[in-house]
Amino acid sequence: MTLNEQQRMIQETARRFAQTEIVPHLKEFEAHGVSEKLIQKLGQAGLMGICIDPEWGSAGADFVSYVLAMEEISAADGGIANLMAANNSPVLAALNDHGTQAQKERFFPGLTSGEMIGCFALTEPHTGSDAAAITTRAVRQGNNFVLNGQKQFITAGRRAGVAMIVAVTDPTAGKRGISTFLTPTDNPGYKVLREETKLGHRTNDTCALSFEDMVVPKTDLLGQEGRGLGIALANLSVGRIGVAAQAVGGARTAYEAALAYAQEREAFKKPIMEHQAVAFRLADMATQIEAARQLYLHAAQVHESGAPSLKEASIAKLFASDMAEKVVSDALQTFGGYGYLEDFPVAKILRDVRVYRIYEGTNDIQKMLIARALTSD
């Protein structure tokens, strides 16, 4: 597709930010986590609330611009891209679509500026893709709700200043008994049980949370009571387009590193790029990356048009995440033994891209959603 001026500008802003503010500090961020200063710089660059109206200090850009920026940040580091994704969508997207004016005035300035970051507390220890099976309870007591339960795999669970929490408000109503809250994390009932040690995405904090008699005012309800599952699932669907963009970013960096290495490394008295086996492998990698990019851009355009995009989002996420693992593995193969060393870039990327086949709905779930859409069209 041909990008418009704003899309190109945001893409270039994100690319420049990634190369100047993230790449030179990756080893430090991998060892100690991303700094609060970097989150603030992301906000100052307009990357923490890309699609939010300019009246809140944001770019007011379209969704295509957002996923283009996501690819660029992910090309530098997947974990930081995931922090940015959690803040932009679902947290800010849900607040934009369902929040009251008072909630927007309360949370938009901090979330878009990078002064604080949001987390999305949906997944629980016993529920992954089956979001309707959550058991965290929110019991009404006067003008408040009291929350009790646990959440698992929550990106930015420790550093977040505000949490979007999905909980059961009416256990007799099934899917219509689930509600969403947007509430500060400085509540004494909000507890971080642990920060997980992960295979990849080591630059962000992924946490297990506990809510222990956490008193939340009813004014922190996001949208109508009983509509929380729909809010959560709608944003998960859109988020899958962002995951596809993240996958493309990681794969692209691995491919570029492998291409450069293949032109420098010699075997049998010539660069290995001149050996057909290596050249064809790189040709396949380039083709797969471009195909995945076009799928996520198409899904983003469909979403931006206002048309249903669940199938397109699932297709983009499924293809791009599978592609990323294969392309990065092929990049490692191109490096040979050096690819297996942490001193070279591909090992880290391989650790980072594996999660794209898991979060925002596993790829098995994506196949189910795509198959269901095929028979309902």
Tokens of 329: 């593995």
Mean pLDDT of 216-234: 96
Domain locations along the chain: 5-116, 120-226, 229-376
Mean pLDDT of 60-88: 97
Distance CA 248, CA 36 (A): 26
Cβ–Cβ < 8 Å for 100, 272: no
* Active-site pick, 72, 124, 225, 360: 360
φ, ψ of residue 73 to 5 degrees: the values are -70, -40
What homologous superfamily does CATH list for 229-376? Butyryl-CoA Dehydrogenase, subunit A, domain 3 (1.20.140.10)
Is 360 annotated as catalytic?
Answer: yes
Nearest to 89 by CA among 297, 360, 369: 360
pLDDT exceeds 70 at position 205:
yes
Cβ–Cβ < 8 Å for 112, 55: no
Residue 102's CB: how many other CB atoms inside 10 A?
Answer: 9
E-assigned strand segments in 186-251: 190-195, 206-217
Query: What's the chain's average pLDDT?
Result: 96
CATH number assigned to the domain covering 5-116: 1.10.540.10
Distance CA 306, CA 172 (A): 33
For residue 339, what pLDDT is reported? Answer: 97
Cβ–Cβ < 8 Å for 360, 316: no
| Chain segment 90-113, per-residue pLDDT in tens | 999 999 999 999 999 999 999 999
pLDDT exceeds 80 at position 83:
yes
HSE (side-chain half, CA atoms, 13 Å) at 182: 27
Distance CA 316, CA 311 (A): 9
pLDDT exceeds 70 at position 254:
yes
CATH number assigned to the domain covering 120-226: 2.40.110.10
Mean pLDDT of 295-317: 97
Nearest to 156 by CA among 120, 183, 128: 120
Mean pLDDT of 257-286: 98
Mean pLDDT of 222-230: 97
For residue 376, what pLDDT is reported? Answer: 85
| Chain segment 2-60, per-residue pLDDT in tens | 999 999 999 999 999 999 999 999 999 999 999 999 999 999 999 999 999 998 888 89
pLDDT exceeds 70 at position 174:
yes
Q: How confident is the model at residue 130 (pLDDT cuts 50, 70, 90)?
A: confident
For residue 377, what pLDDT is reported? Answer: 67
pLDDT exceeds 70 at position 311:
yes
For residue 195, what pLDDT is reported? Answer: 97
